[in-house]
Structure 1
Amino acid sequence: MISAMLFAGGSGTRMGASADVPKQFLEIEGKSIIIRTMEHFENHPLVDKIVVACKADWIDELKKQIKHFGITKVEDIVPGGANGFESIHNGVVRVAEYSKDDDIILICDGVRPMLSEELIDNCIKYTKKYETAVPVTPSIDSLLYSEDGDTCNKSYKRSSMYITQAPQGYTMKKILWAHEEAEKRGILNPVSSSELMIELGESVHLYQGERNNIKVTTPEDMHTLRSYFYYERYRTFAKEVMKYGF
């Protein structure tokens, strides 16, 4: 059993999104970002079920959109938590209710609408082999470390730095252990599941991510996303023009 667990419980403060519309519900070319993200798992032949941790007062809206766009793999929608980790936890617990230890969970933010089938393929493949699979891209920028944001006396070797992406894959046994340990040790808000694993002393297996697999976080990301889908629509139109000769 392979399940995708999407977490979309936030409101998008870094996006500067309207207080009335969380960023995952902003529309691109007639579809919300969360639906576009979900469709990649809906259409993937190896993904069996989808569980979504959603901002509680938007669950009814998400249900309407799932029905409207014909998403059939959604097993359940659970309320999100006070932060990203709590939302992930709620989703993981729900997936665990119908999963076995060696089943796979693909944990993904609900704001990655440019996922590829190959990326999901690789996540599944490496999770089966290593129990963990985290997509990364090499850092193309130099990195400096600062405690106060004003001064710096430490830098990092760029060739050793990587940017994490999603989906991140785990066996259910592995991720449930991590969440149980987090509770025991008082780890309340790790940035991601991979960082939780590392904080617990575990290693995670890295695989090659994709630079266009953007997480929609800032207004600049929205501009990039809109440009991409506008280009795709224009390219489709141009193909039709060439096909019919008008």
Structure 2
Amino acid sequence: MNIALIFAGGSGTRMNSKARPKQFLQFFGKELIIHTLENFQNHQEIDAITIVCIEDWIPYLNKLLTKYDISKVRTVVAGGKTGQESIYKGLCATKEYAEKDSIILVHDGVRPFINEDVISACIKSVKAHGSAITTVPATETIITTENDKITSITDRSKCQLARAPQCFYLDELLEAHNKAIKDSNTNMIDSASLMKFYGHDLYTVQGNVDNIKITTPADFYTFKALYEVRENQQIFGL
């Protein structure tokens, strides 16, 4: 099985939204989480979806899943205190229904521009190498600092920015999480960092540059512009 694990546990504080978390804000008539989910719902190679959600918003999410006929969702679970704990809870819930050698694609619910080609490439990379970390080229200079002093400048041509999805075999990612729990290692920033720490080789898949994470008001305006460009391309064949 190829399974998408969608993290929708953020509270949206950077979006300055007092009424609802950012993943439930409406854009062009649909909630942001639905824009994201439809990419996996409509992909032929995705067999199932698990969603990790803020507990109080699960009933509302379930209504949206019915409204928009997101039928591949097998389970929705409450998130934890941290992103790492939330992903772990999602992995455990997924394990309950997943088949042997299932591939898991960990993706942010607020990255709505993931596309079919990238999803397919990620699945192919996991089958070939055991991992797929979606990346885009770094476009600005990367520096290292200490006490406000620049200690090194990295060759930008060798740098990539890690994005999502980050994909692995389900059992291997779950095993790494269990090791982290045993080691009290709770501060990993993402699945790639966790897997690298526990000795796994990571392979990259070139992602689409517009697959941004919507976390701030400025991101909303970028999303709006990108969405309108895509709509115009479909209508006018640009």
Same fold (TM over 0.5): yes
Q: How does 1:92-241 map to 2 (within 5 A)?
A: 92-148=91-147, 150-233=148-231
Greater strand fraction, Structure 1 or Structure 2: 2
Classify the secondary structure of the residue corresponding to 1:92: helix
1:5 aligns with 2:30: no
1:68 aligns with 2:72: no
1:192 Cα deviation (Å)?
0.8
Partner of 1:91: 90
Partner of 2:15: 15
The CA distance in 2 between the partners of 1:41 and 1:127, in whole Å, is 17
Task: State the Cα deviation string for residues 116-166 of structure 1 (Å, max 9, x = none).
Answer: 100000011111111111111111110111244x33222222122110111
Q: Percent of pairs identical after alignment?
A: 38
> Residues 125, 232 of structure 1: CA spacing in aligned structure 2 closer, same or farther, 3 A cutoff?
closer
Aligned residue identity for 1:79: A
Aligned CA-pair RMSD? 1.6
> Residues 83, 63 of structure 1: CA spacing in aligned structure 2 closer, same or farther, 3 A cutoff?
same
The CA distance in 2 between the partners of 1:213 and 1:24, in whole Å, is 15
Residue 53 of structure 1 contacts residue 87 of structure 1 at CA under 8 Å; is this kept in 2?
yes
Name structure 1 gaps, 5 residues minimum: 240-246
The CA distance in 2 between the partners of 1:215 and 1:199, in whole Å, is 24
The CA distance in 2 between the partners of 1:203 and 1:162, in whole Å, is 16
Paired positions, count = 237
Residue 9 of structure 1 contacts residue 80 of structure 1 at CA under 8 Å; is this kept in 2?
yes
Name structure 2 gaps, 5 residues minimum: none
1:191 Cα deviation (Å)?
1.0
1:32 Cα deviation (Å)?
0.9
